[in-house]
């Protein structure tokens, strides 16, 4: 991937935290910041996809209820727990 040097203005305390976190992770600050930006963009894309899916679902099936949301959250929590348990065994 091609890279380009850019200049951004950040609060001093944030810069200190980023520098410390990058050093702790053993990566250059630019890689640490790039990874954080990529995660945020992926999160935003995921939210947009969920909103699109939700609109399609509701158009076909009606409003999603609080019970539906609770059920999905429980399923996601179980999937997260299963994934974390697997990664802990392989670590």
pLDDT digits (tens, 9 = 90+) for 23-40: 999 999 999 999 999 999
Q: What are phi and psi of 2, to 5 degrees?
A: -70, 150
Closest CA relative to residue 16, chosen from 29, 3, 35: 29
Calpha distance 17→14 (Å, rounded): 5
- Report the C-alpha dihedral over residues 41, 52, 81, 24, rounded to 10 degrees: 10
pLDDT value at 12 more than 80: yes
Question: Contact at 8 Å (CB) between 15 and 22?
Answer: no
> pTM for the full model?
0.67
DSSP label at residue 27: S
Span 53-89, pLDDT tens digits: 999 999 999 999 999 999 999 999 999 999 888 877 7
Alpha carbon distance, N-terminus to C-terminus of the chain? 29
Calpha distance 76→73 (Å, rounded): 5
Half-sphere exposure of 57 (CA within 13 A, CB side): 11
């Amino acid at each position: 991937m091609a890279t380009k040097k850019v200049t951004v203005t950040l609060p001093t305390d944030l810069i200190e935290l980023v520098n410390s976190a990058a050093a702790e992770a053993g990566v250059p600050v630019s890689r640490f910041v790039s990874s954080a930006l990529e995660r945020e963009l992926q999160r935003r894309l995921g939210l947009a996809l969920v909103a699109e899916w939700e609109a399609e679902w509701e158009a076909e099936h009606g409003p999603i209820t609080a019970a539906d949301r609770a059920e999905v959250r429980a399923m996601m929590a179980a999937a997260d727990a299963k994934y974390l348990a697997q990664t802990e065994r392989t670590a």
